[in-house]
Amino acid sequence: MDDRGGSFVAVRRISQGLERGSVYHSSSAEVVAGSAAWLGRGLSCVCAQGRDSDARPSFDLTPAQEECLQRLQNRIDVAYESSIPQHQEALKDLWKLAFPEEELHGIVSEQWKQMGWQGKDPSTDFRGGGFISLENLLYFARKFPKSFQDLLWKQVGDRSVWEYPFAVAGINITFMLIQMLDLEAVKPRSIVGETFLRFLSVNESAFDLLYCIAFKLMDQQWLSMRASYMEFNTVMKSTRRQLEREIMIKDITRLEELPSYSLLSQ
């Protein structure tokens, strides 16, 4: 990751009269290309910057926490490789979950832009988040299909004319969570990261679940701020702050107890 601006694609809002599950073709949306420091190959998401107030003295992991953290870090280390059949199948599964009534014509196709990828080959976007970012999207689509479809189709709220691209925004959320929880360190060096390990030790899917909460919370922040695509970084920073506050609420022992969990619909 660096601080250079990366290319992005902003998608013009589709008519809200569309039914979920109806077939939607690329000709139904207008797409504009530009450059900014928030989405796509640059991925210099300002929400990833740590704060001095997050730091705290080192703490000891329990054996269970250490094992769970190592498994999660192993997932984070896996790069998306378009040459690996299992990765291709996972990407095809995502398409089927997103557009069950539309056949995908190829693993490289202009159709992917419908989901908010920058081009016809999603593998170029996965460089920012790795295979775990695809796993996050799959978990979201399977666990909370209604919320997934609502965000994909921008069905809820008074939307901006120029909306954030769904899929690439999802990769940014994966990246933001990894940074916020300090998951690339040997062990987290923040209170938020330490607290998350308690959730992870009782729920192996805690990172994926937090991803779903974060995505839905980000969209709520987007709507409440009446944001457009140039405010995406501001929205992500606000989302991170709110997540940190909720994770630190006293006596919460499960992610399902976070206030923002109630935003999700199955």
In a domain, 127, yes or no: yes
CA-CA-CA-CA torsion for 16, 93, 176, 213, nearest 10 degrees? 60
Residue 58 lies in a domain: no
Per the structure, the count of domains in the chain is: 1
Asked if residue 22 is part of any domain, the answer here is no
For residue 192, give every residue at least 6 positions away whose Cβ sits within 8 Å of its Cβ, in sequence order, or none: 54, 180, 181, 182, 244, 247, 248
State the residue range of the domain holding 231. 64-264
137 inside domain = yes
Give me the tens of pLDDT residue by residue for the chain, a chain 266 residues long.
433 334 444 444 433 333 333 332 333 333 322 223 334 433 334 444 444 444 554 678 889 999 999 999 999 999 999 999 999 999 999 999 999 999 999 999 999 999 999 999 999 998 778 999 999 999 999 999 999 999 999 989 888 788 999 999 999 999 999 999 999 999 899 999 999 999 999 999 999 999 999 999 999 999 999 998 899 999 999 999 999 999 999 999 999 999 999 999 87
pTM: 0.82
186 belongs to a structural domain: yes
Task: Classify residue 119: in a domain, yes or no.
Answer: yes
Angle of CA points 80, 202, 127, to nearest 5°: 15
**Residue 55 covered by a domain:** no
Whole-number Å distance between alpha carbons of 159 and 220:
11
